[in-house]
Amino acid sequence: MEENKREMPDEALASESDAAEPVVMEPSAEELPADEPARSEAHPAAEEPADSAAEEPADSAAEEPADPAAEEPADPAAEKPAAGEKEEQIVPGQGINTDKFDVSEPWLDGKRVDDSVKGLEIAYTLRGGEVREALRYFQKKTIYRKNAIFTVILAVVAIFYAQAIFTDPSYTLGYIMLVLALAVIWFLWFMPARHIKSASEAADLNGEEPYRIEICPQGLLMPKDNARYLVGFDRPAVRAAELPDMYLIIMSREKLFALPKRCIPPADQQELERMLREALGPRYERVENRQ
């Protein structure tokens, strides 16, 4: 009995140590297939990189064709202008050139319009005196002031060199500069006067050649290659004037149109004046006296 009593504590200690140490059970080969799904379910994060890696190429492949398809419709629409808004250069077969052009005739920029755009049609002829009056008005409004300023400056230069020559008659450079200053002054006034003379003589030689022009509230309707183009009144350089005997429409610094009142019925004159006043506002001028 005493020996059993002595052995019991050792066995109790052994049982306690066995209870404290966890027992690890190694799975058998038959149980492994059953455990693997459980392990994959318990650790799904291990499979995520493979899934994301597999999904990324598919996403990028799906996004790449979508971007060009989304951009292609927008680019052509932005690059292509609306129909009828592209301007073309038109060389009118009528009107008065405000200066002599040896290389090419002056042109106007216009937009093509269809036959639904209508205007006031005017048939007219030009005489030499009317061309002369129109060009004098234009030159007075455009180049007279500039030429006057240059004339004053050149006159001062000429007087300065004339005094130098008077002081020293052997001053050769003074003679050259004096002649140049006087020559430039002469050309400033001679060339515009010469153009007026040549243009008026050419009108007389044409024998009142008939012209036709169409005017609408938006501008002039000019023909070109079996089409009609609108040269708008909305340009800042466009101005108009009513002289005692004619209407002047100045479309640019190179081209103006003179419409004699003798060729326009009174009712059409009122309609033309109304359109010009409404379209140009302060750029329309009425001149009472002859130029």
Are both 241 and 225 inside the same structural domain? yes
- Summarised one tens digit per residue, pLDDT across range 67-115 is 444 444 444 333 433 445 666 776 777 888 888 655 456 767 778 888 7
- Residue after which a domain boundary falls, among 179, 205, 231: 205
- Summarised one tens digit per residue, pLDDT across range 22-50 is 444 554 444 444 444 444 444 444 444 44
185 phi, psi to nearest 5 deg: -60, -40
The CA distance from 196 to 182, in Å, is: 22
Average confidence score pLDDT of the chain: 75
What is the amino acid identity at position 100?
K
Are both 137 and 276 inside the same structural domain? no
Provide the edge-to-edge strand list for the sheet that holds 284-286: 96-97, 255-260, 246-250, 239-242, 284-286
More confident residue, 90 or 140: 140
Helices (H) and strands (E) in the chain, counts: 9, 11
Are both 136 and 279 inside the same structural domain? no
Rounded to a whole number of angstroms, the distance between the first and last alpha carbons of the chain is 156
Are both 246 and 264 inside the same structural domain? yes
- Summarised one tens digit per residue, pLDDT across range 268-278 is 999 999 999 99
Structural domain contains residue 171: yes
> Mean per-residue pLDDT for 186-202?
92
Are both 237 and 269 inside the same structural domain? yes
Structural domain contains residue 67: no
Structural domain contains residue 221: yes
Reported as a pLDDT band with limits 50, 70 and 90, residue 252 is confident
Please, which residues have CB within 8 angstroms of residue 196's CB and are 6 or more apart in sequence? 131, 132, 135, 136, 139
Are both 110 and 238 inside the same structural domain? yes
pLDDT at 39: 44
Are both 113 and 232 inside the same structural domain? yes
The CA distance from 233 to 229, in Å, is: 13
Structural domain contains residue 150: yes
**Which range has the worst mean pLDDT, 55-59, 102-106, 211-215?**
55-59
Residue range(s) defining the domain that contains residue 228: 84-125+210-286
- Residue after which a domain boundary falls, among 176, 205, 234: 205
More confident residue, 40 or 263: 263
Structural domain contains residue 39: no
Crossing angle of helices 172-205 and 128-142, rounded to 10°: 140
Are both 116 and 258 inside the same structural domain? yes
- Summarised one tens digit per residue, pLDDT across range 106-137 is 767 778 888 788 889 999 999 999 999 999 99
The CA distance from 227 to 220, in Å, is: 13
Structural domain contains residue 30: no
Total domains in the chain come to 2
pLDDT at 92: 73
pLDDT at 101: 55
pLDDT at 113: 82
Structural domain contains residue 35: no
Residues written for the chain: 291
Structural domain contains residue 196: yes
Q: What's the distance, CA 253 to chain centroid?
A: 20
Are both 98 and 233 inside the same structural domain? yes
